[in-house]
Structure 1
Amino acid sequence: MPHAALAQPPRWLSSAQLHPGPAAALSDWLFDQGSLTRRLTALAEQQFSVVPLEEGWQPLRHDECLALGVPSGSQGWVREVYLRGHQQPWVFARSVAARSALQGSGLNLGELGSRSLGELLFSDRAFTRGAIQVCRYPAPWLPSAVRNEQLWARRSCFQRGALAVLVAEVFLPQLWQAAHVDA
């Protein structure tokens, strides 16, 4: 997405760095350590789906390179999807892994299709989840169909040996309506 480079990078913050912190119901979603896929599936009463938008090798954003500990401008696998409930996009997810770590790792993100990466990461006990960070996600980084200012997002890094997969999830207004949360 060429327009994405123009966005001011967000400040990703831990729960301790958020002052003031979000309301309890919102914070419960942002900092939940469990599988977001499972939580969305339950909320959607099994009417959950993953819709791939874009995936392939591309230069990673500067903030992603920093989080993954790779040089700025490194190539990586980028996967962008909607996590949908009742046919509505509830979450925009962007997952990235550096090419240098992904090749030879045995993980082929290109084969996921409409399956959830989160389910894969949570079902493989070799992956450990790093700290969750949150921000207000830059609108230019979102697909035009869901572009909105000031949407809450979270990210965390899943690690298995030398492989790190950075997963960012942007919570869309339709999710908050379905979950009855004021965002």
Structure 2
Amino acid sequence: MQHSNSSPAPLWLPQGRLTPLPDPMTRDWLFDEGSLTRRLTRLSNDGFSVTPLFEGWDRLRADECAALDLPAGSEGWVREVYLRGHGEAWVFARSVASRSALQGDGLHMDELGSRSLGELLFCDHAFQRRAIEVCHYPADWLPHDCRADALWGRRSRFDRGALSVLVAEIFLPSLWNAARAHPENC
């Protein structure tokens, strides 16, 4: 699902290079190395769901190719979903992997449907997670119904042998509202 590329690619930064730092609650969510799916499930009191928006082969963005050590313009599997709490979109997630690495690897991203890719990555202990990077995600890279400026996003690369999956998660204002309303579940 190619979104407008009028915005320049964001500068993805590790925690140590991020200035100014966001507030403590935002930092906690951005740099939490546990499963986001599990955390959203806890926050929603088991009212968590995944809504697929797009799944298919597409050309990867330049920043994604660079993060996956692929030549610019490479094709890969793209999966875009909403992670929801009680039906409300809390997180927009975009996951990508190169065509060459996916073919023959046994990870069937095309068969996930409404299941969480993140949960699959965390359950398969062969995947190694690289450092989390964060940015203000470009508004025109988001689906039309959740576009807003300066939303925090994070991404990390999960490696298993020759397969690398890049997972980006953009935190929507509705998540921060839910987290402030129910801090005991965060």
Partner residue in 1 for 2:184: none
| 1: CA distance, partners of 2:91 / 2:33 | 16
Structure 1 stretches of at least 4 aligned residues deviating more than 4 Å after TM superposition: none
Partner residue in 1 for 2:92: 92
Partner residue in 2 for 1:57: 57
Query: How many angstroms does 1:37 deviate by?
Result: 0.2
Question: 5 Å matches for 1:7-156?
Answer: 7-156=7-156
> What secondary structure is seen at the aligned counterpart in 2 of 1:78?
strand
Cα deviation digits, residues 33-74 of structure 1 (max 9, x gap): 000000000000000000000010000000000000000000
> What secondary structure is seen at the aligned counterpart in 2 of 1:5?
coil
Cα deviation digits, residues 6-27 of structure 1 (max 9, x gap): 2211000000111121111110
> What secondary structure is seen at the aligned counterpart in 2 of 1:180?
helix
**Paired AA for residue 173 in structure 2:** P
> What secondary structure is seen at the aligned counterpart in 2 of 1:21?
coil
> What secondary structure is seen at the aligned counterpart in 1 of 2:84?
strand
| 2: CA distance, partners of 1:54 / 1:20 | 34
Q: How many residues of Structure 1 are paired with residues of Structure 2 in the alignment?
A: 181
| 1: CA distance, partners of 2:6 / 2:69 | 22
Greater Cα offset, 101-110 or 168-177: 101-110
Cα deviation digits, residues 145-183 of structure 1 (max 9, x gap): 0000000000000000010000000000000000018xx
Cα distance change, pair 80–3 in 1 and its aligned pair in 2 (3 A): closer
| 2: CA distance, partners of 1:16 / 1:2 | 31
Query: How many angstroms does 1:104 deviate by?
Result: 1.1
| 2: CA distance, partners of 1:8 / 1:66 | 14
TM-score, structure 2 length as denominator?
Answer: 0.95
Partner residue in 1 for 2:177: 177
Q: CA RMSD in A?
A: 1.0
Query: How many angstroms does 1:2 deviate by?
Result: 4.4
| 1: CA distance, partners of 2:84 / 2:98 | 27
Cα distance change, pair 67–132 in 1 and its aligned pair in 2 (3 A): same
Cα deviation digits, residues 81-123 of structure 1 (max 9, x gap): 0000011000000000000111111111000000000000000
**Paired AA for residue 130 in structure 1:** R
1:159 matched to 2:163: no
TM-score, structure 1 length as denominator?
Answer: 0.97
Unmatched 5+ stretches in structure 1? none
> What secondary structure is seen at the aligned counterpart in 2 of 1:149?
coil
**Paired AA for residue 46 in structure 1:** D
